[in-house]
Amino acid sequence: MNSNRGKTHEKVLFATTALVATAGVAAADVTFGGYGRFGILYNDTAAGDSTDVTSRFRLQIDATAESDAGVVFGARARIQQNNSDEQQSINEGPDNVLGTADDFAENAGPAGTGINGVRFFARTGGFEVGVGNIFGALESMPGQYPIDLGLTGLGYDYTAFGGNGDAYSSGGNGAAGSNGVEVMYSAGDLSVHVSASDTNDRVAGYVAYTWSGWTFAVGGQDSDDAGDTEFTATAGGSFGIADVTLAFADNGTNGDRVVLAGRFDVGAATDVEVYVADQDGAGNDTGYGVDFNHDLGGGVSLRGGVAHRFNGDDRADMGVRFNF
């Protein structure tokens, strides 16, 4: 009898604890999502060619809470692992003796598994302020990523601004390490985004407007780095069977870049993407690529592509991606 009462008490205690925990979660909204991908990546460079397994796992965590005044506060973090990430190692320090006080941890390459720099934000209506690992105005500008070539992006030469600005970093602190801040506003067909960070004292922004199914955007940036993007413009929309984007960027000493990209369906579950791009000052000047994406259902797709890059390298990949 006493034993049964003890078990009943434990069940009630467990249920009460679960209820309190559930109530705490219900006060906010926490979502998990992301994707995994794996396949084969081929590289042909001046130094030789190689064929390797390529993979990535990304888990994204978004958490929000809403105040009584209706303002949404939130944060985004990612846990990501690429097959190319290097494991952390211990440097023996100046005395070259392992286990002494001057030892320190280091990564010889991109960071391995771990939580990246967090982006915090406050949002009300169409107005949002973000700090930390910011998205970056030029990185988020419509038309900068008109396609997603192959399984891995194959070098992203079809991105007009070429990464010469602040961007959300999946594997490190991103702009969080340099006091990034951004302001975003949208109303109907109009969107505006301004960002700033201590990296090269960057201040960037864009204005975009959608009209009759076409989106036009112009952006600019002030920076202490002569190789950062100074001006960029994009236009994208549909020509019947194809979605087309034309983009231009003045990337300072890194040269102007012009990109023409398109996507069109070749079946109920398959689409093809293509691009051609011209880069001033690049060894090869012109780059181009083509890919296919076949939807297998349930968030799973078979992807592959090939690209000839500005630097003369050839790159190809094929594999599977699944979203969750």
pLDDT score for 154 = 97
Task: Name the pTM for this structure.
Answer: 0.82
Options 2.40.50.140, 2.60.120.10, 2.40.160.10, 3.40.30.10; CATH of 33-54+131-323: 2.40.160.10
Tokens matching residue 131: 């700090």
Task: List the domain boundaries for the chain.
Answer: 33-54+131-323, 85-112
Beta strand 119-124 pairing with 127-132: antiparallel
Contact (Cβ atoms closer than 8 angstroms) between residue 219 and residue 247 = no
Contact (Cβ atoms closer than 8 angstroms) between residue 162 and residue 254 = yes
Task: Tell me the percentage of the chain whose pLDDT exceeds 90.
Answer: 73
Residues whose CB is less than 8 angstroms from the CB of residue 77 and which lie 6 or more positions away in sequence, other chains included: 60, 61, 115, 116, 118, 119
pLDDT score for 2 = 42
- DSSP, collapsed to helix, strand or coil, labels residue 132 as strand
**How many whole angstroms separate alpha carbon 183 and alpha carbon 136?**
10
Q: Which amino acid is at 297?
A: G
Element spanning 21, H or E: helix 2-26
Region of 139 please: left (phi>0), alpha (psi -120 to 50) or beta: alpha
Contact (Cβ atoms closer than 8 angstroms) between residue 218 and residue 235 = no
pLDDT tens series, the chain, 324 aa: 444 444 333 333 333 333 334 444 445 799 999 999 999 999 999 899 999 999 999 999 999 999 999 999 999 999 998 887 765 555 556 655 555 555 555 555 445 567 889 999 999 999 999 999 999 999 999 999 999 999 999 999 999 999 999 999 987 777 777 779 999 999 999 999 999 999 999 999 999 999 999 999 999 999 999 999 999 999 999 988 899 999 999 999 999 999 999 999 999 999 999 999 999 976 668 999 999 999 999 999 999 999 999 999 999 999 999 999
Cα-flanking dihedrals φ and ψ of residue 119, to 5°? -100, 125
- DSSP, collapsed to helix, strand or coil, labels residue 193 as strand
Residue with tokens 């600005």: 165
pLDDT score for 80 = 92
